Structure 1
Amino acid sequence: MGFSDLPVRRRDATRLAAVAAAAVAGVSIARPAAADRRHRLRAQPDGVDALELAVAGLAGTARRAGGLRTPVVATTRFAALGVTWGRGDGRVRARWRRERNGWTEWRTLPRLAHGPDPDSDEAAAATSATDLVWTEPSDAVQLELTGDQRDPVLVLLRPRRRKGDGRVEQPAPVVTDVGAREVGSVPMPGLLFRKAWGPDPRLRNGRPSYNNRIRQVHVHHTVNSNDYARADVPGMIRAMYRYHTRNLGWSDLGYNFLVDRFGRLWEGRAGGPRRAVRGAHTLGFNHASVGVAAIGNLESGAVGKRMIRALVRVAAWKLDMYGGNPHRTIWIRSSGSDRFPYGAMVELPTIDGHRDTNQTACPGQHLYDALPAVRRRTARRIREFRAG
């Protein structure tokens, strides 16, 4: 007997149980409209439409030995998805229906491999989750969970363009190259501050924390499409910020900086770009580093010259402030990651990829292969400015 065959009273009781389960998980269930039975993403003040669904409360979810599978969940348009849960662990697979290309195959969603260091105050409020997965415009999804995840929640996001998003241009550096050479230091590159992408300050939780120094630059990619327009970028950053704060429980966006395919450099986490702000980008190794995310999928797409230039300029600026050498490796103590246990001493490149510290493919093979060139160019830039 299917759900639609149940008597009315039993059906109502089942729905009430689903709502109660969602309330326990702290999630507001958006009920599908009666006409088309779709769950609707709701517009948010930050310009990101969002929907959060308690997986256990979805009618028709089938429990199996070791996990569960949801029915097909029809929705209004979304562009990114993630799954969070309270306790436990396991595998999450998903398939989704793209508006242009139909259903994907079942795919394993990557387990979150970045976040606050386990021994930090920020980690106390963090939840377990998958990475945010960019899907293309889609309108249905189905999940399969294997493991003992408690209170899993499906998160769907759709960033929208806001007025002014298409008019954001890279500003000139505050100090010219000539002026910087006179004082013998690498200048801060032209930077788009947080105001340019417009985060909702109500989503932040807590104050920034700071490192004593910066010894490393960790390079990431965000694994979204590579054909985004200039006007899309602020909304994409707002969606990542919402997922990191509202859904993962972090105090702010995890990355310190982001670079896009047009060569623009964006301030990520608050606290002052000139300061050693502790991020939540490289689990176990945030305590002496800065995290820079390249916006795009650099596993499937090539790394453009403008993106490389932006990476070099921000890396040279931050490392020069603390006497770093991009050619060297350093020894650093792990504060606990999925690759190196708490207290382990690890030798790492000064500029490394996320995969060097965690079990992940990030920052994508193409960008990882470009890191030797990034190190060479960063070292040359530091050397040129120090020479005056």
Structure 2
Amino acid sequence: MFKIVTMRGFFSPSLGSSGSFRSLGAPLIATVLALSSLSLPATTVTAVPAAPVTGGIPGSTRSLPLAPLTRARGLGAAPEQGVYRADGERFSLLGVVWDDPGAELRGRIQVRTRAAGTGAWSGWQDVETHNAGHGPDPGTAEAASPRVRGATAPLWVGASEGVDVRVRAASVRLPDGTRSAGARTSVPLPSGLRLELVDPGDDGTPPGAPADAPHTGADTAAARAASAANTDVAGFGALEIPELDKAATERELTRLKGPARTASYIGARPRIVTRLGWGADESLREPGFGYTKTVRAAFVHHTGSGNQYSCSQTPSVIRSIYRYHVKSMGWRDIGYNFLVDKCGTVYEGRAGGVAKAVLGAHTLGFNSDSMGIAVIGTYTETEPADAVVTALARLTAWKLGLNGADPQGRTYLTSGGGNLYRKGKNVQLNVVSGHRDGFATDCPGAALYARLGAARSAAADYQGR
């Protein structure tokens, strides 16, 4: 159903703004630029040595075990666990994980944080506990990894240095026929509860530098491979995939897919910030890339991480979610194929090439032959901005167009197993679906889900249908 491709030893020049190269001799510059314009297969390429690149400040993850706060006394008492740190913990995003990825946390998690700098404590916030529908499909190597954990959604809290977390188990009424019928008892909490505190670090861009200043992330084989995976649509080392008009996109479609696809419907390619552009630490993820056969559907998500971020903070938010998915939850890479912030900027997610059918870990049971797009934030009640809907429409018009799919159509996907459809069931879904269409979940939030019809219609218009 999918394949893992390993790439090693690609070029390692110093990167300038917009993917240009610095500190290279003229012959090598010509060679690199010529090769970067080719559509390269995912394979092993001979390395070209270059001067080392200085990295930014690396991120970090601190894992704190939760301890009992109260003892359950009687059938109606719900046990609580938590942790309190008044200072000394530098982080911007948090979440709670536990040992068994198949276990469900039934209860409520509340957190307050102490802001770095001011020292002021926030009010109590809820952490979204229902996150099981995100992840690799059952039976896959990624899902079977012993590193995989159960987890809440991540919560972005901004620069913080103190934290107070309380986890309270839910209670249920005992059924008729039992000795204590009608009484309430608490549901056991999953074992191994830990609070994950994530510091995104920085991307190496000097403070006060212009937006197009060169990022100076670590120059590794993994970083070169991630950048090389996009050389079919951009120069090697690009900080962004530039937008194209419709005519140029159609010419690119012919180049990528062959003359038979010249007449296909496709929307103009939107601007996409690459992993290098948002400062991904490529040493975190597993090496190589996973691919599926095609992209027949797009699942729209929200990250459930809250809306208290500015668009200038988006790269930090994405670096934090990436680190949480990999270091805390045990996935091989960030789960989503693309992310969209509340200003409508599109970001590359899981590595492997934005124009390729990269296998994600976004919609449990339906990761094959699909892509996952996460809108950063929580849209249970908050209305997404028009810029978000436009970004979803433009992205799906282009990426689905590359694969011959109609955004307003329906398609069949085979379930890999989940809580709505058994493994092996052939399920008809909208080509542009919400996460809840493939898994019983609130994601992508009622407010965002209600806008998917508008996104589908706009995407079909962009394709020229």
TM-score range for the pair, normalised by the shorter chain length? 0.7 to 0.9
Alignment of 1:292-371 (within 5 A): 292-371=373-452
The within-5 A match list for 1:77-226 is 78-87=91-100, 88-99=103-114, 102-104=122-124, 109-125=129-145, 126-135=148-157, 139-144=162-167, 146=169, 147=188, 149-164=190-205, 167-168=210-211, 173=242, 175-181=244-250, 183-184=262-263, 186=266, 187-226=268-307
Partner of residue 381, structure 1? 462
Matched length: 338
| Contact 2:113 2:164 (8 Å CA) reproduced | no
- 1:233 aligned counterpart, secondary structure: helix
1:180–1:334 Cα change, 3 Å: same
Change in CA separation of 1:101 and 1:85 when aligned onto 2, cut-off 3 Å? closer
1:256-291: per-residue Cα shift (whole Å, max 9, x none)?
A: 011112222111100111110000011110011011
- Distance, in Å, in 2 between the alignment partners of 1:325 and 1:219 is 16
1:352 CA drift (Å): 0.7
Distance 2:372 2:352 in 1: 14
Q: Indicate if the aligned counterparts of 2:420 and 2:438 stay in contact, CA closer than 8 A.
A: yes
- What is the CA distance between 1:364 and its match in structure 2? 1.7
Q: Which is bigger in relative contact order (C-alpha 8 A, separation at least 6)?
A: 2
Alignment partners' CA distance in 1, 2:108 and 2:56: 31
1:69 aligns with 2:69: no
Provide the rounded CA distance (Å) in 1 between the counterparts of 2:135 and 2:401. Answer: 26
What CA distance in whole angstroms lies between the structure 1 residues aligned with 2:350 and 2:405?
22
**Contact 1:90–1:145 (CA<8 Å) still a contact in 2?**
no
- Which consecutive unaligned segments of at least 5 residues does structure 2 have? 1-54, 115-119, 170-187, 213-238, 252-261
Change (3 A) 1:117 1:299: same
Calculate percent identity across the aligned residue pairs: 33
Aligned CA RMSD, in angstroms, stands at: 2.8
Q: How big is the shift at 1:172?
A: 7.0
For residue 255 of structure 1, the aligned residue among 321, 336, 351 is 336
Among 307, 319, 332, the alignment partner of 1:238 is: 319
Q: Is the 8 A contact 1:110 1:130 kept in 2?
A: yes
After TM superposition, the score normalised by the length of structure 2 is: 0.66
Letter in 1 for 2:106: R
1:98: Cα distance to partner? Answer: 4.0
TM-score normalised over the length of structure 1: 0.78
Instruction: State the distance in 2 between where 1:294 and 1:305 align.
Output: 12
Residues 106-142 of structure 1, C-alpha deviations (whole Å, 9 max, x = no match): 6663333200011211111122222212345653222
CA shift in 2, pair 1:191/1:159, >3 Å: same
In the TM superposition, 1:250-289 aligns within 5 A as: 250-289=331-370
Gaps of 5+ in 1: 1-43
Letter in 1 for 2:337: N
Q: Distance in 1 between matches of 2:286 and 2:203?
A: 24
Which secondary structure does the structure 1 equivalent of 2:86 belong to?
Answer: strand
**How big is the shift at 1:92?**
4.7
Q: CA offsets, 1:351-373, max 9 Å, x none?
A: 01111122222112221111001
Higher helix share: 1
Name the amino acid aligned to 1:79: S
